[in-house]
Structure 1
Amino acid sequence: MAEESRNTRFDLVVALFMALAAVGTAWAGFESAKWSGVQANSYASAGADRAEASRAATLAGQQRGIDVVSFTAWLNALNAEIVADPSVRPKGNYKPNQQAVSGFLFERFRPEFRPAVNAWLATHPLINADAPATPFDMPQYRLAAQRRSERLVDSAGKLAAKARSANQRSDNYVLTAVALATVLFFSGMASKANGRRLQLFFTILAGTVLIGCIVTLALFPIQI
């Protein structure tokens, strides 16, 4: 009677181990799939941000080219006017003459370029040898498209890091599921083993691995 009672308790323990291992395996599989989804979405978003960053960088390059061409044309026109009439040479802040080619070109600078030009002219570059060489050397020369490109590149980097982290977490859950499979194996061996010592050995082994897996799953981040 005592032996039968002992066998019944043993069977219940083995059944409990196998049930917990099955539930843990299902949970690990579910979480692995969820983290794989986070990885895929993050990589997709990172790719979209990189593509948009490339477009923004291209636009910034085009705008910079327009600024360089328009500034060069204005400077050449102003120089021609100064050569023709030295009195035209500005002694202080430049005031565009609408009747002159230089004034016509100046008024057509891009609005985003104008603050840098005004800041550069405030240094009296035509009479001040220490002034910055061009408006492009001024801190006021900032392209919104370039800043947007830089923000998108930074965002893409963070999303890629998030994807790598999600991939690692998914792999960790898969590894835990593999460990839980060994719990099922050891539990099965315990139920089939001959001899109390061998049964106890496999039962303790299954219980130890199971406890380790449960603790590990409890510490893993959860994605719902």
Structure 2
Amino acid sequence: MPMVDEPQATPAETGWYRHLDLVATVVLAVATVLTAWSAFQSSQWSGVQAAAYSAASRERAESNRAQTLAGQQSIIDVMLFTDWLDALHSEGDTVVVPDPYVPDPTVYSGFLFERFRPEFRPAVHAWLAEEPLTNPAAPPSPFAMDEYVLASAQEAARLEKASDRSAATARLAIERKDNYVLATVLCASVLFFCGIGSKLGSPRRRAVMIAIGGAVLLATLVVVLTFPVHF
């Protein structure tokens, strides 16, 4: 009887080639999950960015209002202090007065002194104690004294620093969001390589495409694991 040749197995049916579909499926599954995770984290960090920039804008506006108030209070202090000195001069007194200075409410200088703001009075008393008319080392005015402190100016400085911190947080969130967006793009390339590879007829070409996709996925996964997460 004549010999009948048995059908030869194709390369796709022998060796490791027969596992290509399984490998491609696993790579696609991991890439899909990683894409979803990266997109989720990107949206989360986008929310952090928006909240931080909103806080920075609010704190900057509040800082400007506090700084404006501090400027207005300084003008009031300067004007009252100047009028007080003029009143002392017109009354024939001198700026060198007993310490502590006790204003006389029956005269104009005392009337003005009583209307000094509470934040300004300690600086005036400290300045008068330095005997500025006879002491060359004395500060030129109460406004140069350490005792002259404006709460509104301190609040403005605090809010400005808080605004800078919020802006820095927003910039950091942008950087992290962009990193996750890049990871999403890389995962999309993995889907591309594996999708194209599954359509190729040559097992070797399929293997090459899937291998490229797997390498990109592995590198992306390693990098993503180093990224901070936010919930």
Task: Using structure 2 for the length normalisation, give the TM-score.
Answer: 0.89
Corresponding letter in the other structure for 2:33: V
1:193 partnered with 2:200: yes
Uncovered stretches (5+) of structure 1, i.e. residues with no partner: none
Shift of residue 176, structure 1, vs aligned partner: 0.8
For 1:83-102, what aligned pairs fall within 5 Å after superposition? Answer: 90=96, 92-93=98-99, 94-102=101-109
Q: Deviations over 1:120-168 (max 9, x none)?
A: 0110123323321110011111100011001111111111111111011
Q: Deviations over 1:160-197 (max 9, x none)?
A: 11111101111111111000011011111221222232
Which residue is equivalent to 1:211?
218
1:91–1:65 Cα change, 3 Å: closer
Which residue is equivalent to 2:72?
62
Which residue is equivalent to 1:49?
59
Corresponding letter in the other structure for 1:19: A
Corresponding letter in the other structure for 1:183: V
Runs of 4 or more off by more than 4 Å in structure 1?
5-8
Aligned residues: 220
Query: How far apart, in 2, do the equivalents of 1:191 and 1:89 lie?
Result: 95
SS at match of 2:179: helix
Corresponding letter in the other structure for 1:161: A
Who wins on radius of gyration, i.e. which is larger?
2
More displaced 10-residue stretch of structure 1: 59-68 or 3-12: 3-12
1:57–1:91 Cα change, 3 Å: closer
Query: How far apart, in 2, do the equivalents of 1:183 and 1:147 lie?
Result: 55
For 1:125-144, what aligned pairs fall within 5 Å after superposition? Answer: 125-144=132-151
Query: How far apart, in 2, do the equivalents of 1:100 and 1:90 lie?
Result: 17
For 1:155-174, what aligned pairs fall within 5 Å after superposition? Answer: 155-174=162-181
1:126–1:219 Cα change, 3 Å: same
Q: Deviations over 1:79-106 (max 9, x none)?
A: 1112xxx6x6645423322322112211
Query: How far apart, in 1, do the equivalents of 2:68 and 2:109 lie?
Result: 29
1:17 partnered with 2:24: no
Query: How far apart, in 1, do the equivalents of 2:104 and 2:73 lie?
Result: 25
Q: Give yes or no for contact 1:42–1:162 (8 Å, CA) kept in 2.
A: yes
- Which of 120, 125, 143 lines up with 2:127 in the alignment? 120
Aligned CA RMSD, in angstroms, stands at: 1.7
Q: Give yes or no for contact 2:97–2:128 (8 Å, CA) kept in 1.
A: no
1:119–1:91 Cα change, 3 Å: closer
Which residue is equivalent to 2:13?
4
Shift of residue 15, structure 1, vs aligned partner: 0.4
1:220 partnered with 2:227: yes
Q: Give yes or no for contact 2:87–2:109 (8 Å, CA) kept in 1.
A: yes
